[in-house]
Amino acid sequence: MKKIQMVDLHSQYLNIKSEIDQQIQEVIDSCAFINGPAVHAFQNNFEQYLGVKHVIPCANGTDALQVSMMALGLQPGDEVITSSFTFIATAEVIALLKLTPVLVDVDPDTFNIDPKAIERAITPKTRAIVPVHLFGQAAPMEEIMALAKKHHLYIVEDNCQATGSDYIFEDGSRKKSGTIGHIGCTSFFPSKNLGCYGDGGAIFTNDDDLAKQMRVVVNHGMTVRYYHDYIGVNSRLDSIQAAILKVKLSHLDEYASKRRAVADFYDKAFGHQTKLKIPVRYSKSNHVFHQYTLVSQGIDRKALIEFLATKGVPAMIYYPVPLHMQKAYLDPRYKPGDFPVTEHLCETVFSLPMHTELDQEQLNYITSNVLEFLNRT
Ligand SMILES: *Cc1c(COP(=O)(O)O)cnc(C)c1O
């Protein structure tokens, strides 16, 4: 059996090797390493795929979030509401810009930000909400957009884990996650659903003015060459990464189907186990399973993970510590117990291998070992 990994980028590469190698070689032959034709081609393809007016490529997902908030003109002291159960980058850029992160708890089923908790957290200082489409499933965007409208707030979607997922509106229409709020952000970190072979990111918007401003911010605040009207940053997607992304974008929907098939198999294996809660699929999103995350119920999670490790089955905890309990983010406004759902999830969740190259033998092996542990305890 092939070695089981959380993500198997090498096997995926071997399946698209000739396309990838040719694209990389073309960039090297052209030596157009920065802002070359590959970047523009990928940008156009991605705009079409997402059905969004503007894609602004940048250096990584964290920059995408930072540039969004800079372009919105948020000022120190402005409050930005986000989820207490997410990767640190979401809160990090808020703190770096001296904005005030306001955390709210999540829904215990979907792990996504809870709109009722958002509404309770809104104050006269609130300027923006950053919903995170966690683990590949879209947050409840209609409720969140309604709050934005009512309270005149910006929505910046952290779509780093959900590239390619659809949000399904009440009337049945669909939009890609990340294209519903004022701005959407994504990451092309290698293990993300659309990943490159290094760092990369992108920002999406349908707003022409915001797009123009974000293109200025990512390019040193420069409006005319060597005239800097704003303090910006240097954040670019390089041409080799764009060339790789062009190839991988053409496989993205097929990759999402493969991930869903893995999730279906895990669901079937674990759906009747009382000691595990399978991920709940929310009807408004076609989950793209960046992660397959189970909630353990009344079992020793650490012992399970250690048992699996002895069998060569990796399992990870995303995330072990809630934002308000991270050392760098300790804040007198918050104390343990303030976000009970997040705190419970941090103590009980674990994620199993999830990628596009898992074969049936590996899946059988993973599930039978998890079940063996459950039967023993
Ligand atoms: C990966 C990720 C980011 C940051 O992306 P980078 O490209 O690593 O900077 C931000 N938010 C979430 C939710 C992520 O998963």
Q: Helix, strand or coil for residue 320?
A: coil
Residue 204's beta-bridge partner residues?
55, 184
264-287 confidence digits (pLDDT tens): 999 999 999 999 999 999 999 999
- The rounded Å distance from CA 359 to ligand 1 centre is 27
Judged against a pLDDT cut of 90, whether residue 297 lies above it is answered with yes
How far does the centroid of ligand 1 lie from the alpha carbon of residue 269, in Å?
A: 30
pLDDT digits (tens, 9 = 90+) for 73-90: 999 999 999 999 999 999
pLDDT at 85: 97
Q: What is the pLDDT of residues 198-228, one digit of tens each?
A: 999 999 999 999 999 999 999 999 999 999 9
Mutate to test the pocket of ligand 1, among 85, 88, 163, 189 (most ligand atoms within 8 A of CB): 189
pLDDT by residue (tens digit) across 299-348?
Answer: 999 999 999 999 999 999 999 999 999 999 999 999 999 999 999 999 99
Q: Is the CB of 87 under 6 A from ligand 1?
A: yes
Q: Which DSSP category does 282 fall into? A: P
Q: For residue 197, give both structure tokens.
A: 């072979």
Contact 266, 367 (CB under 8 A): yes
362 lines ligand 1 (CB under 6 A): no
Pocket test for ligand 1, best of 6, 7, 62, 197 (most atoms within 8 A of CB): 62
Residue 352 pLDDT greater than 90, yes or no: yes
Closest CA relative to residue 243, chosen from 10, 11, 37: 37
Give the burial class of 163: count Cβ atoms within 10 A of its Cβ; 0-12 exposed, 13-18 middle, 19 or more buried: buried
Q: Whose CA is nearest to atom 5 of ligand 1?
A: 61
Is the distance from CB of 349 to CB of 40 less than 8 angstroms? no
Q: What is the pLDDT of residue 306?
A: 98
As a CATH number, domain 9-104+113-249 is 3.40.640.10
Task: Copy the structure tokens of residue 213.
Answer: 């401003």
Give me Rg for the CA atoms of the chain: 21
Separation between Cα atoms, residue 85 and residue 56, nearest integer Å: 27
The fold of 252-376 is Aspartate Aminotransferase, domain 1 (3.90.1150)
Please state the atom number of ligand 1 nearest to the C-alpha of residue 132.
13
Which residues of the chain does CATH 3.40.640.10 include?
9-104+113-249
**Rounded distance from Cα 61 to ligand 1 centre (Å):** 5
User: How much is the pLDDT for 377?
Assistant: 82
Q: pLDDT for 24-59, tens place per residue?
A: 999 999 999 999 999 999 999 999 999 999 999 999
Residue 310 and residue 195 in contact, taking contact as beta carbons nearer than 8 Å: no
Region label for 161, one of left (φ > 0), alpha (ψ between -120 and 50) or beta (otherwise): alpha
Question: Among the atoms of ligand 1, which is closest to the Cα of residue 161?
Answer: 15
Q: How far is CA 199 from the centre of its chain?
A: 14
pLDDT > 90 in the chain, percent? 99
Q: How far apart are CA 324 and CA 331, in angstroms?
A: 7
Render pLDDT for 154-194 as a digit per residue (tens, 0 to 9). Answer: 999 999 999 999 999 999 999 999 999 999 999 999 999 99
Q: Which part of the chain is CATH 3.90.1150.10?
A: 252-376
Pick the residue whose CA is nearest to atom 2 on ligand 1: 160
Q: How many helices (H) and strands (E) does the chain have?
A: 13, 14
Which ligand 1 atom lies nearest to the CA of residue 200? 7
